[in-house]
Structure 1
Amino acid sequence: MGERLAAIGFDADDTLWQNERYYRLTEARFGELLADHAAAEMTSARLLEAERRNLALYGFGIKGFTLSMIETAIEITEGRVPAEVIGRILDFGRELLAHPIEPLPDAETVLERLAGSHRLVLVTKGDLFDQERKLAQSGLGGYFHAIEIVSDKTEATYRTVFSRHGAGPERALMIGNSLRSDVLPALAAGAFAAHVPHELTFALEHAEPPENAARFHRLDRLAEAVDLVRAIEAGEAAAPEG
């Protein structure tokens, strides 16, 4: 027999509700806005470079994305970007911040099935106000025993979160769509980690799957998380390495 999980962590964006889709649509509109100055592909590449540079300053989220769009527009126009273009970019950011939340299929069903028997922890990164807004609008907040909104997800993050809300990472499972943020650091901390791929994933979240890691699992759908929890606790899933 395995050991009962003391905590199950869930990512939010693109695990429980749609998120990246709206960024991609906004990026396409941004490319159209600057079409007289650069091809859409070049604008997207320059925007990604700006986002990579700015993560350490602005963190993850819509506000940092909006500032990176403004910076990119200034660079592409060599400082001649019209004020009305800056205004449109700010409108893009406001529209993202006000966009309705669309829960993904199976999200509520899975949370409902696990919440009665397990301690569920939402572990999400990004802007505090925006993540709180999305959680409130999703209607899913009531299923969680704890909410952790963090600036980034690292091995230390998972050690702290699962020690605070469980019995340490060794008896925890983290579920999410990002290999970089939800899987690799959780495994490094000693937790189980389940990757639930989303059709769209932010380029800076890409990483190679740790296929040889004993506690790594890939789920085709979030609905499979319930059976994975049972398998882990029954000792049918892989044991920790070492």
Structure 2
Amino acid sequence: MMRKLQTIGFDADDTLWHNERFFKLTQERFEELLSDYTDKSLLHDRLIQAERRNIGHYGFGVKGFVLSMIETAIDVTEGAVPGHVIRNILDAGQDMLAHPIELLPHVQTTVETLAQSHRLVLITKGDLLHQERKLAQSGLGELFDDVAIVSEKSVETYQTVFGRHSGGVAAAMMVGNSMKSDVVPAVTAGSWGVFVPHDLEWDLEKAEPPKNPRFLEIADLGDLPSLVADIG
């Protein structure tokens, strides 16, 4: 009998390894650099607005984040931001790009276990070179049958990626920490969507959970093998 579930897709950042905490630390550094020019809460709001505007231009990832910080610094200082502040922002971005990969709990065991029985696909947003480097450093690369680094995760993304594997979207599952990017569009496409909450959540990735029997939630990736076994 053919399995109900044949392909399992995984998000990368903050699902397999730590990511958002480095953005938060850099944002705190950014706020300190500009503390003489504007209030912290105002700066946070202005940065989020810049990120939202710029996603279509720069995409997701560190480079777009750095450019949004520079734009915000110029705006809140009315063009008076000192050169050394820009230099510090650039240095912070380079530190983020060079940061070593640290897997989240249960990731190694879970991915190794499921790779023995299912087709695994990595589906992640962000800068191509940076995401490739992180995957290589994670030690998980050889466990995935397919890797898709995309500019956005939409219904069409999951239809395309899962559609190139036997069983298509109906026999696929997407696992991730973003309700907006990993769960809602995957479930809408017809696959299972498994939400794995992370302590840190980017404001632009928040969304309401779908009202669909194919929406599932687990506490951490250690619970995923038993969930997969229950589906069959």
TM-score (normalizing by structure 1): 0.94
Whole-angstrom distance in 2 between the partners of 1:95 and 1:205: 24
Whole-angstrom distance in 2 between the partners of 1:206 and 1:166: 31
Farther off after superposition, 194-203 or 160-169: 160-169
Determine the structure 2 residue equivalent to 1:220.
219
Mapped pair 1:103 → 2:110? no
Task: Work out the percentage of aligned pairs sharing the same amino acid.
Answer: 56
Q: Kindly indicate whether the alpha-carbon contact (under 8 Å) linking 1:60 and 1:125 is maintained by their aligned counterparts in 2.
A: yes
Please list, as runs of the form range in 1=range in 2, the aligned pairs for 1:1-242 lying within 5 A after superposition.
3-210=3-210, 212-233=211-232
Letter in 2 for 1:106: H
3-state DSSP class of the match of 1:167?
coil
Whole-angstrom distance in 2 between the partners of 1:49 and 1:175: 28
Whole-angstrom distance in 1 between the partners of 2:9 and 2:16: 12
3-state DSSP class of the match of 1:80?
coil
Q: How far off is 1:167 after superposition?
A: 2.0
Q: Kindly indicate whether the alpha-carbon contact (under 8 Å) linking 1:146 and 1:165 is maintained by their aligned counterparts in 2.
A: no
Whole-angstrom distance in 1 between the partners of 2:137 and 2:190: 33
Whole-angstrom distance in 2 between the partners of 1:213 and 1:167: 20
Whole-angstrom distance in 2 between the partners of 1:201 and 1:84: 30
Farther off after superposition, 76-85 or 25-34: 76-85
Q: How far off is 1:3 after superposition?
A: 3.7
3-state DSSP class of the match of 2:13?
coil
Q: Kindly indicate whether the alpha-carbon contact (under 8 Å) linking 1:187 and 1:215 is maintained by their aligned counterparts in 2.
A: yes
Q: How far off is 1:166 after superposition?
A: 3.4
Whole-angstrom distance in 2 between the partners of 1:203 and 1:76: 21
Whole-angstrom distance in 1 between the partners of 2:34 and 2:85: 8
Letter in 1 for 2:50: A
Whole-angstrom distance in 2 between the partners of 1:209 and 1:167: 25
Whole-angstrom distance in 2 between the partners of 1:145 and 1:131: 16
Q: Which runs of 4 or more aligned residues in structure 1 lie more than 6 Å from their structure 2 counterparts after TM superposition?
A: none
Q: Kindly indicate whether the alpha-carbon contact (under 8 Å) linking 1:176 and 1:195 is maintained by their aligned counterparts in 2.
A: yes
Q: Kindly indicate whether the alpha-carbon contact (under 8 Å) linking 1:17 and 1:104 is maintained by their aligned counterparts in 2.
A: yes
Q: Deviations over 1:26-51 (max 9, x none)?
A: 00000000000012211111100000
Q: Kindly indicate whether the alpha-carbon contact (under 8 Å) linking 1:166 and 1:172 is maintained by their aligned counterparts in 2.
A: no
Question: Structure 1 residues 205, 48: CA separation in 2 closer, same or farther (over 3 Å shift)?
Answer: same
Aligned length: 232
3-state DSSP class of the match of 1:193?
strand
Identify unmatched segments of 5+ residues in structure 1.
Answer: 234-242
Letter in 1 for 2:32: E
Q: How far off is 1:2 after superposition?
A: 8.6
Whole-angstrom distance in 2 between the partners of 1:113 and 1:166: 20
RMSD: 1.1
Determine the structure 2 residue equivalent to 1:236.
none
Whole-angstrom distance in 2 between the partners of 1:119 and 1:143: 9
Whole-angstrom distance in 2 between the partners of 1:123 and 1:41: 33
Letter in 2 for 1:113: T
Whole-angstrom distance in 2 between the partners of 1:2 and 1:34: 58
Whole-angstrom distance in 1 between the partners of 2:166 and 2:60: 26
TM-score (normalizing by structure 2): 0.98
Q: How far off is 1:231 after superposition?
A: 1.0
Q: Kindly indicate whether the alpha-carbon contact (under 8 Å) linking 1:18 and 1:102 is maintained by their aligned counterparts in 2.
A: yes
Q: Deviations over 1:153-210 (max 9, x none)?
A: 0000000000113321000011000000000000010000100000001110001112
3-state DSSP class of the match of 1:174?
strand
Letter in 1 for 2:40: A
